[in-house]
A and B are shown apart, each in its own frame.
Chain A
């Protein structure tokens, strides 16, 4: 046999051995029934393992039956994790311990949060927010931190501070000035009460009869948690789901005004459907939210109508304000990151926040969130608000012109880093009435908690008052 023929023969053997079901020359015949190359441990006999374990336990010297090794699992050799038994809650009749007697807490008897009560006489007093059907709290919701506290408190309430009085006084001017002249952002340290102050301002505005559009968690606009679709007309990405929800909530809170105001022109929505001129805004929202795809167009039309009317001042309140100036988590089809102003809803809010669009009377109020590390306050916004930048800010650092434009003219409502003794005492008394404190409230305990928290409201409540359980 020539060398070439031997190589060819060898190659043929290789091919034959490598193909499934092949029987190579001089090799053991492969059993086609076992032609499934699986690891050896797949063919383990489960009973064999069980016997081995029992034998091992016997060899080690089993003593009392309580110490005898028992195989884990259902004895069938399976390695399924044990599922804990299902726990059933006790019926309320059997919950006799005082810890469960939440209904027996003394009623707080708080005054409602109303404009005529938000005066210097109510300083350092807790006022209760309205909760119920079609109220601000139930329609819009609240930020997560506030929600946790409201779940513990017997009634949703907040303390009237000096900054509350100054902010409400600032809001009083919104009735006579355009919104472009009343644009402010609440800033302060972590846990200093920014979201609470914004909530108080929004409740105050609503009780005064203003139209209120409140977005408590605007991070949800940019964190890729709702659907998005490209619109070639506006060259932005619409968010139909979020727009539809916002429209419904806006209508629920301001229903009376929406049933009075009428549209001034026809509104064309998808499928060549048209909502005629003279329709009430409530009907416009109802027609526009039948299908989510129509919601962005209807929202734009609604905002346009609110810009034309002058009967009701409009307050636009946005928590997590810095999310409007950041990169979103959305991506376009080519995997490029989208900025917040490439999305229709944040862009709409930015237009009003920058004063490029305005209501005839009203205000734009935002609150920063310093707790989120994914969406930090950008340099352009920090410089516009006069804050000390915590990022490199030299002359060689590029500022994005779009963000500079959108942050122009914003005022800063700065919260103090610590609350006063009187405010802290009022807070201590409020939580004391809720029976949160483990020990009896004393001046010593109060001063200790105030000092340990350095006057920070959140630390005072969560680490001080709530952390007062002795271990």
Chain B
């Protein structure tokens, strides 16, 4: 299956294949699976069409995805209404909806994230900061020893990042 151009093999776990997206690691992947009610052992081929649609819509625009609705949970003495009858009234949640800070609201993936990284490095260069100068000279930026890290820095620390990632690696 392909979602937003990323191949997700059918036989693999959804939780793992979501990490194939640039900008999604295992923790973000777990949160996305919980948001879509995808269990841990779910494989890509087991996803329902609604889940695939919801996942695609979310990954397309994470910032504009609606907040998860408040789902009250039954206490020990809760008695549900009969099937086909109106639902029991839901009491107001103890926390207001706007109090919930969604960790996935500012999620950026793929080209949006790459653009943001490029812009950040360019900003440093434009303001003439130390970080910008080190990027321009292709030297270590974060205080590493140049004797041992110069070759890695030569490869990675540029004003313009690598456009095509290496196989199975992001940089």
* Interface residue tally for chain A (C-beta within 8 Å): 43
B37 touches A229 (CB 8 A): yes
**Contacting residues, chain A, for B71 (C-beta < 8 A):** 230, 232, 235, 332-333
Indicate whether B74 reaches chain A with its CB closer than 8 angstroms: yes
* CA of A230 to CA of B71, assembled, Å: 8
Q: Are A230 and B87 in contact (CB under 8 A)?
A: no
Chain A stretch 199-255: residues in CB contact (< 8 A) with chain B: 223-230, 232-236
Q: Does A11 contact B (CB under 8 A)?
A: yes
* A406 B100 Cβ-Cβ under 8 A: no
With a cutoff of 8 Å between Cβ atoms, the chain B residues found around residue A331 in the complex are: 30, 34
Residue A334 lies at the interface, judged by CB distance under 8 Å to chain B? yes
Q: Does B4 contact A (CB under 8 A)?
A: no
Q: How far is the CA of A232 from the CA of B90 in the complex (A)?
A: 10
Q: How far is the CA of A401 from the CA of B75 in the complex (A)?
A: 11
B12 at interface (Cβ–Cβ under 8 A)? no
List residues of chain A with CB within 8 A of the CB of B155.
Answer: 37, 39
Q: Interface digits, B70-97 against A, CB 8 Å rule (1 contact, 0 not)?
A: 0111111010110110010000000000
Whether the pair B74, A230 counts as a contact (CB closer than 8 A) is no
Which among A17, A236, A334 is the interface contact of B100 at CB below 8 angstroms? A334
B110 interface residue per 8 A CB criterion:
no
- The majority secondary structure among interface residues of chain B is loop
On chain B, the residues within 8 Å of A341 by CB distance are 76
Kindly identify which residue among B41, B80, B122, B166 contacts A234, using a CB–CB cutoff of 8 Å. B80
Q: Are the C-beta atoms of A225 and B39 separated by less than 8 Å?
A: yes
Please, what's the 1-or-0 string for B37-75, where 1 marks a CB less than 8 Å from any CB in chain A?
Answer: 101111000100000000000000000000011011111
- Could you tell me the distance in whole angstroms from the C-beta of B76 to the nearest C-beta in chain A? 5
Q: Does A416 contact B (CB under 8 A)?
A: no
Pairwise interchain contact B162-A225, C-beta atoms closer than 8 A: no
Q: Shortest Cβ distance from B38 into chain A, in angstroms?
A: 8
Query: Shortest beta-carbon distance, A392 to chain B, in Å?
Result: 24
B1 interface residue, CB < 8 Å from A? no
- Asked if A224 contacts B40 (CB within 8 A), the reply is yes
Kindly state whether residue A38 has any CB partner on chain B within 8 Å.
yes
Confirm or deny: A20 has a beta carbon within 8 angstroms of a beta carbon on chain B: yes
Q: B73's contact among A37, A236, A267, A269, by CB below 8 Å, is which?
A: A236
Please state if A37 and B162 are interface contacts (CB–CB under 8 Å).
Answer: yes
Q: How many residues of B contact A (CB 8 A)?
A: 38
Complex: how many Å from CA A20 to CA B80? 63
Q: Is A14 interfacial (CB-CB < 8 Å)? A: yes
Compute how far the CA of A261 lies from the CA of B164 in the bound complex, rounded to whole angstroms. Answer: 67
> Can you name the residue of chain B whose Cβ is closest to the Cβ of A35?
B163
Distance to closest chain B CB from A407 (angstroms): 12
Write out the residue numbers on chain B whose beta carbons fall within 8 Å of the beta carbon of A406.
76
Q: Of all chain A residues, which has the CB nearest B104?
A: A335
Residues of A within 8 A of B122 (CB): 18
Partner of A268, one of B68, B83, B164: B83
Bound-complex Cα distance A37 to B160 (A): 9
Q: B125 to A342, Cβ gap below 8 A?
A: no
Instruction: With A233-B87, A332-B71, A342-B73 as known contacts, state yes or no: A224 contacts B160, CB within 8 Å.
Output: no
| Interface: A329 (CB within 8 A) | yes
With A236-B73, A331-B34 already in contact, the answer to whether A18 and B80 are too (CB < 8 A) is no
Quote the shortest CB–CB distance from B42 to chain A (angstroms).
7
User: Are A14's CB and B136's CB within 8 A?
Assistant: yes
Give chain B residues whose Cβ lies under 8 Å from the Cβ of A334.
Answer: 34, 68, 100
Instruction: Tell me if B41 and A225 are in contact (CB < 8 A).
Output: yes
Known contacts A38-B166, A342-B73; A235/B83 CB under 8 A? no
Contact A332 B87 (CB under 8 A): no
- Enumerate chain B interface residues (CB-CB to A < 8 A): 30-31, 34-35, 37, 39-42, 46, 68-69, 71-76, 78, 80-81, 83-84, 87, 100, 103, 122, 125-126, 136, 155, 158-160, 162-164, 166
**Can you identify 15 A-B contacts, CB atoms within 8 angstroms?**
A14-B159, A18-B125, A227-B42, A230-B71, A232-B87, A234-B80, A235-B72, A236-B74, A331-B30, A332-B73, A333-B69, A334-B34, A335-B31, A347-B74, A405-B76
Residues of A at under 8 Å CB distance from B?
11, 14, 17-20, 36-39, 42, 223-230, 232-236, 267-269, 297, 329-335, 338, 341-342, 347, 401-402, 405-406
**Closest CB pairs A-B (n = 5):** A333-B68, A331-B34, A235-B74, A224-B40, A18-B159
